Amino acid sequence: MIRISGIKLRPEDGNIKRAVALELKINESGIKNIIIRRRSLDARKKDDIHYIYSVDAELKAGDGAVKNTGRRKNGVTVSVSDHRDYALPNGEITPGKRPVIAGFGPAGMFAALSLARKGLCPIVLERGKDVDRRRADVEEFWNGGKFDPESNVQFGEGGAGTFSDGKLTSRSKDPRGGYVLEEFVKAGAPEEIAYDAKPHIGTDRLREVVKNIRKEIIALGGEVRFETRLREILVSEGKVAAAVTDSGTIDTDSIVLAVGHSARDTFYELEREGIALERKPFAVGVRIEHRQEDINTAQYGDMAKKLPPADYMLTYTAQNGRGVYTFCMCPGGYVVAAASEEGRLVVNGMSEYARNSENANSALLVQVRPEDFGEGGAFAGVEFQRRLEEKAFKAGGGNYSAPIQRFGDFVNGRPSVSEGSVRHSYRPGTVFADLNDVLPDYVCEAIKEAVPQMGKRLRGFDSPDALMTGVETRSSSPVRIVRGDDGQSISLEGLYPTGEGAGYAGGIVSAAIDGVRQAEKIIEKRLIK
């Protein structure tokens, strides 16, 4: 295979095969197959917006048909492809007790899938419901109905990412990332996620994808138990001996703990059982909404109507030393109610695959540090989150309506009395409030300083009509379950803290990668040497 990198194509020119043939100076008929490895959109110059491709080409005449490799004058690079598909550890497995997976978000899901592929027949425990029943509960809540603390945006099949944009962007170069994306495609995700620089599935398609992965795990001999929590870990001679659950005790020597960043009750139980945890930094803030049409124009200029909905990523360091950044940006999406505890209000963002709603939204976050949290040991960050969520709940009227405020009013410290050009997308309802009364002063100061600077990079981001909804507190886990190089808890052999909730990931793909990595650790222990 020949790797051709740096091919530029205008959005209206989709003939990648012709472009490859021109670069290699061969006829198109001489190309047997093309695999797109990466595609990104370069919109830095509004008069020269183009896609950049990296592809592997299989030639009918073999690699020897290409005489000249290296970098060309036009920036294109031609080389022999070094692509290698990821593979799980190979070898004969020692029979043993079935591993238990606590949590069925991306980390738990891919740990279970990987273990099932090696014949280890994992048992998955998920405190929430299957995705269809979970969706019904969430929709009822969003429409003003009952809130269920066990079936919501945080808990249930697929984890918090099920009600999100389904973004699969990751900074990691880990080869397991390709395996994760390929498994998503096999389960029904759009094929382009395997090569797009900023891939996404969309919450509507993601629901079907997670169901199909569950079915694959079961077909391979695994088991998924919904509405079943890990209640206790039984220990013998310093090692995991069994998992106590709502449906009985399971003898096991391996527990993958992939409970997500909102399983606060589980964190407290772990500490009572003597598992080492520590507080860690995270970030808090609001969701900020703009009209998607305005973001498209700011990013693409005259090409706005010819391109997919635009996204953005903005960062700034405030004078008080706090990093301010946008996170989990949802083009054509919605701000959603994401509470997991009664009397506390949390918001998040979500898009469907088409990304065709009126607004763009993203988290607008400010870094918070362990020293900000006050007393409370490992759980000081959890209590810090809870205090903010309780303030937001009260500011919204005490019924899960969210406090909202126009940015211009936020700067001037007065509650808004009406929306401007941006109309809110949050359900079940909103209340005009002053978010200065909800968030810490240093967070408010950093946002007020950062947004005008971000507006210099993205025209209109600092519009007085930009609509802020509070609060976003679940950007990442406030605790870390300490583990060693072998992937196991430093306190208990056989316990594998995994993913975002354990403090080792920060998104769907990174959590899934960590799940695969932890599955490898278990597989390697079982290999017959």
The dihedral region occupied by 379, where left means phi > 0, alpha psi between -120 and 50, and beta the remainder, is alpha
Read off the pLDDT of residues 236-272 as tens digits, 9 standing for 90 and up: 999 999 999 999 999 999 999 999 999 999 999 999 9
Report pLDDT for 188: 96
Q: Which amino acid is at 116?
A: A
pLDDT recorded at residue 292: 98
- Residues (pLDDT < 70) of the chain are 171
Phi and psi of 284, rounded to 5°? -135, 160
Task: Identify the three-state secondary structure at position 168.
Answer: coil
CB of 395 closer than 8 Å to CB of 438: yes
Contact 364, 286 (CB under 8 A): yes
Residue 270 has a pLDDT of 96
Supply the pLDDT for residue 73: 82
Which is nearest to 154 in space by CA: 121, 128, 118? Answer: 128
Tokens standing for residue 404: 């909202």
Residues in the chain: 529
Residue 164 phi, psi (nearest 5): -155, -170
- Per-residue b/e over 319-346, b at no fewer than 16 CB within 10 Å? eeebebbbbbbbbbbbbbbbbbbeebbb
Q: Which amino acid is residue 474, in one-letter code?
A: R
Please say whether the beta carbons of 409 and 363 come within 8 A.
no
Phi, psi torsion values for 376, nearest 5 degrees: 135, 10
Rounded Cα distance, 474 and 199, in Å: 22
SS3 496: strand
Q: How far apart are CA 184 and CA 336, in angstroms?
A: 24
For 322, what's the count of Cα atoms within 13 Å in the CB-facing half-sphere?
26
Q: How far apart are alpha carbons 270 and 496 in whole angstroms? A: 13
Q: How many CA atoms lie within 13 A of 184 on its CB side?
A: 30
The pLDDT of residue 171: 66
> What one-letter code names the amino acid at 314?
L
Structure tokens belonging to residue 172: 């990691």
Q: Which residue has the tokens 């692509």?
A: 83
In terms of Cβ atoms closer than 10 Å to its own Cβ (0-12, 13-18, 19+), residue 67 is exposed
Look up residue 466 and give its amino acid.
A
Q: pLDDT tens digit string along 60-89?
A: 988 777 877 888 888 899 999 988 889 999
pLDDT at residue number 216? 98
**What is the sign of the dihedral through the CA atoms of 369, 373, 375 and 377?**
negative
> In the numeric block, which tokens belong to residue 348?
């998040």
